[in-house]
Structure 1
Amino acid sequence: MKIIKPIIAIAFLAIALTSCTEEDNDPINLAENPLEEFNLLTTIEANAHKIEVYSDQDQYTVGYNELFYRIKDQNTDNYVSNAEIVQTPIMHMTSMMHSCPKSDIIKTEDLGVYRGFTVFQMPGNAEEHWELNLEYTLDGQTFTASERIAVKAPKDDKRRVASFMGADDKRYVVAMMPMAPAVKVNDFAAMVFTMENMMQFPAVPDHFLKIDPRMPGMGNHSSPNNEDLTYDAATGTYKGKLSLTMTGYWKINLQLIDPQGTVLKGEEVTEDNEASSLFFELEF
């Protein structure tokens, strides 16, 4: 059983404020890996350190990715528990470079394990690729490391993230949080970011996400008891309810609305308009 529980957004900040203890500097037993049931995505060797990046997924995926880090001191063969890590994923395109929404990286309850998240807006390809850049500080000394990574589309090819220009001339990234859909009223969550510049994507805390789930292959019917998504400061996500009345393919039509009630992106589903231009997809 995985012992590390996923966390998001503001929860990272609370743990980040926890001070180090003397116990933090103890060598980490190599025989015990709290991430052994996760997938090792990347190993970066630099500065006499080996940096391991884990995920519960088996690839870097377009959309939300929770990532776990460990740093081994190759001189002592021990994992360090007193590091401060900053991540900066960079997309190298043919004509420009940009980053993506990302969190701080914080310590977990497991010594030597750190975690954060990234939201990749697009996959890499033969000409364009993502690079994971890390800056980390140990005992007052700062190091850098980087590695090219392969970010791929979800294996089911369903949309879980959207990047777009809003009606207010700001660019937004909206990402669906991981979920295990079932025939019931499901908890449903998303994150909303705006692009301040090519490298900074701060979270947006005061908007709304209207949802209208439909089954295009079944007469485009909807479902009862859905709840639109509103911002939850405790988690940094937008939370609501998603009613799924049967298995199959669902299009989760969305509208992003600002505090003044202006629709920034997305359209209502009507008899004359079968889908919104802003949506997520599910199939189960």
Structure 2
Amino acid sequence: MKKIFIYLLPLAFIMAFTQCSKDDTKEDPPPGPENPQMLIGEQFAIGSGLKVEFYALTELYAGYNTVYFTVKDSITGEVVEANEFMMHPMMEMMSGMMHSCPMEAPVYNSETKQYEGAITFVMSSGMGTWTVSVHLNNLGTAEFEPDVIDPAEAMIYSFPSMVDSSKSYFVSLIQPTDPKVGENDFEILINQKVSMMDWPAVEDFSVIIEPEMPDMGHGSPNNVDPTHTAHGHYDGIVNFTMTGWWRVNLTILNAEGDTINNDRSFNITF
């Protein structure tokens, strides 16, 4: 019995060491649709022989959402590039009224093999039903009905122009998504609502930001006002000197330098 124990002990040690070695050398999963993106849904594009998978970085919410689509052969499951890819978001409100929203057309990324774009949902699904239609190769359409939530802190607001009340605009907060003490990238998107179906990006406005801590009664230095970069995106820097509830006040001026809004803000708490 003693000899058997002596022989088994080294064998157990070898097995344990081998198991630890395998665990230690295990590779992290490669980046892709399953990591770290969230699957929103998957649908077949009837008539095209293709299936579409719809991904986002988080739950979809009222505001600016980066979206991703993977197209696969519906039989083999092989990822393919469609000859034509078009996306159309649409809201049917409880009243029956239909409207679209701002969007950035998806573009194919040959490295990730995904179509990458953006949808700015102007309201949550609590107001009606959102549909995101993906048209492929003029042959078939995949229809998604995603749930769009209201985030804990608003990521979008609208206002009528103080100069011309017939014109209305939507401002979406894009950055920061993970705020920290110190300087943070501050990015917004501005769109005009021309009609229920037309939401062009505004590229000639000026934006002034003024962060404050309402509970503490102070602001912060070293902020950089956002300036237009491309397609309605305005980039700047916001400086948070401590954790807590911050309110970033925005003043927006039109191309003529007239203030068209100065009473809206974004709350950022961390």
Q: Report TM bin, short chain.
A: 0.7 to 0.9
Residue 191 of structure 2 aligns with an amino acid whose one-letter code is F
What is the TM-score of this pair, normalised by structure 2?
0.81
Aligned counterpart for 2:226 among listed residues 225, 229, 254: 229
Q: Note if 1:159 corresponds to 2:154.
A: yes
> Relative to 1, partners in 2 of residues 1:82 and 1:228: Cα closer, same or farther, differing over 3 Å?
same
Deviation at 1:55, TM superposition (A): 1.4
| Residue in structure 2 matched with residue 174 of structure 1 by the alignment | 171
> Relative to 1, partners in 2 of residues 1:53 and 1:217: Cα closer, same or farther, differing over 3 Å?
same
| Residue in structure 1 matched with residue 266 of structure 2 by the alignment | 280
| Residue in structure 1 matched with residue 118 of structure 2 by the alignment | 117
1:15-37 CA distance string (max 9 Å, x none): xxxxxxxxxxxxxxxxx872220
Looking at structure 1, the residues matched to 224 and 90 of structure 2 have their Cα atoms a distance apart, in angstroms, of: 35
Looking at structure 1, the residues matched to 135 and 197 of structure 2 have their Cα atoms a distance apart, in angstroms, of: 15
1:11-59 CA distance string (max 9 Å, x none): xxxxxxxxxxxxxxxxxxxxx87222011111112314321011111x1
| Residue in structure 2 matched with residue 270 of structure 1 by the alignment | none
Residue 74 of structure 1 aligns with an amino acid whose one-letter code is S
What SS does the aligned partner of 2:215 have? Answer: helix
| Residue in structure 2 matched with residue 45 of structure 1 by the alignment | 44
Aligned counterpart for 2:147 among listed residues 147, 150, 162: 150
Could you say which structure has the higher strand fraction?
A: 2
What SS does the aligned partner of 1:82 have? Answer: coil
State how many pairs are aligned: 235
Q: Are the aligned partners of 2:193 and 2:200 in contact in 1 as well (CA < 8 Å)?
A: yes
Structure 1 runs, 4 residues or longer, greater than 4 Å off: none
The percentage of aligned residue pairs carrying the same residue is: 33
| Residue in structure 2 matched with residue 12 of structure 1 by the alignment | none
Looking at structure 1, the residues matched to 82 and 66 of structure 2 have their Cα atoms a distance apart, in angstroms, of: 21
Matches within 5 A, 1:211-250: 211-219=209-217, 221-233=218-230, 236-250=232-246
Residue 84 of structure 1 aligns with an amino acid whose one-letter code is E
Q: Note if 1:188 corresponds to 2:183.
A: no
Looking at structure 2, the residues matched to 144 and 33 of structure 1 have their Cα atoms a distance apart, in angstroms, of: 28
Looking at structure 1, the residues matched to 115 and 81 of structure 2 have their Cα atoms a distance apart, in angstroms, of: 9
> Relative to 1, partners in 2 of residues 1:83 and 1:250: Cα closer, same or farther, differing over 3 Å?
farther
| Residue in structure 2 matched with residue 103 of structure 1 by the alignment | 104
Looking at structure 2, the residues matched to 65 and 111 of structure 1 have their Cα atoms a distance apart, in angstroms, of: 18
What SS does the aligned partner of 1:52 have? Answer: strand
Deviation at 1:75, TM superposition (A): 2.8
Looking at structure 2, the residues matched to 232 and 117 of structure 1 have their Cα atoms a distance apart, in angstroms, of: 16
> Relative to 1, partners in 2 of residues 1:85 and 1:97: Cα closer, same or farther, differing over 3 Å?
same
What SS does the aligned partner of 1:205 have? Answer: coil
Looking at structure 2, the residues matched to 86 and 171 of structure 1 have their Cα atoms a distance apart, in angstroms, of: 27
Residue 247 of structure 2 aligns with an amino acid whose one-letter code is K
Q: Are the aligned partners of 2:175 and 2:185 in contact in 1 as well (CA < 8 Å)?
A: no
Residue 175 of structure 2 aligns with an amino acid whose one-letter code is P
Looking at structure 2, the residues matched to 83 and 40 of structure 1 have their Cα atoms a distance apart, in angstroms, of: 23
Deviation at 1:236, TM superposition (A): 4.7
Unaligned runs of 5+ in 2: 1-29
Looking at structure 1, the residues matched to 110 and 53 of structure 2 have their Cα atoms a distance apart, in angstroms, of: 17
What SS does the aligned partner of 2:143 have? Answer: strand
| Residue in structure 1 matched with residue 251 of structure 2 by the alignment | 255
Aligned counterpart for 2:260 among listed residues 264, 267, 270: 264
Unaligned runs of 5+ in 1: 1-31, 267-275
Q: Are the aligned partners of 2:102 and 2:200 in contact in 1 as well (CA < 8 Å)?
A: yes
Root mean square deviation, CA, Å = 1.9
1:74-100 CA distance string (max 9 Å, x none): 133322113422111111112311111
Could you say which structure has the higher helix fraction?
A: 2
Deviation at 1:261, TM superposition (A): 1.3
Deviation at 1:163, TM superposition (A): 1.9
What is the TM-score of this pair, normalised by structure 1?
0.77
